């Protein structure tokens, strides 16, 4: 979910910004913030489409919570943008195609 990564970047910019003395205000890099907002606007429609598609499966899925285990990942903001940038990586499957194939596999193999 790249949007969460972008939101974390915004949060970091705010936390690292120079504070204006005797106020709650800060000096920010307007261009950097506007660029991140632009990226969020571009990515959000795809993620909303994916969420609607999953909802269309018409399955009520309740998470099962248990005690924390060694190696559990508490927070994950998986992001392949660095692999794309540095390695030229491009996934062969988009979210919907991968999910479709996974569902078919489970239907046929379980």
Residues of the chain with pLDDT under 50: 1
Asked if residue 83 lies in contact with residue 89, where contact means CB atoms within 8 angstroms, the answer is: yes
Residue 75 CA: distances (Å) to CA of 4, 5, 53, 58, 78? 11, 11, 24, 27, 9
* Distance separating alpha carbons of residues 27 and 20, to the nearest angstrom: 7
pLDDT at res. 58: 66
Global confidence as pTM: 0.44
Query: For 33-63, what is each residue's pLDDT tens digit?
Result: 999 998 888 887 777 777 776 676 666 767 7
């Amino acid at each position: 979910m790249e949007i969460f990564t972008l939101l974390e970047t915004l949060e970091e910019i705010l936390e690292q910004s120079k504070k204006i003395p005797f106020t709650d205000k800060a000096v920010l890099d307007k261009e950097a913030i506007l660029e991140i907002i632009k990226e969020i606007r571009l990515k959000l429609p795809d993620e909303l489409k994916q969420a609607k598609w999953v909802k269309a499966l018409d399955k009520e899925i309740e998470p099962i919570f248990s005690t924390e285990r060694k190696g559990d990942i508490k927070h994950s903001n998986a992001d392949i943008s660095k692999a794309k940038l540095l390695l030229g990586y491009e996934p062969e499957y988009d979210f919907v195609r991968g999910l479709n194939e996974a569902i078919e596999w489970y239907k046929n193999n379980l």
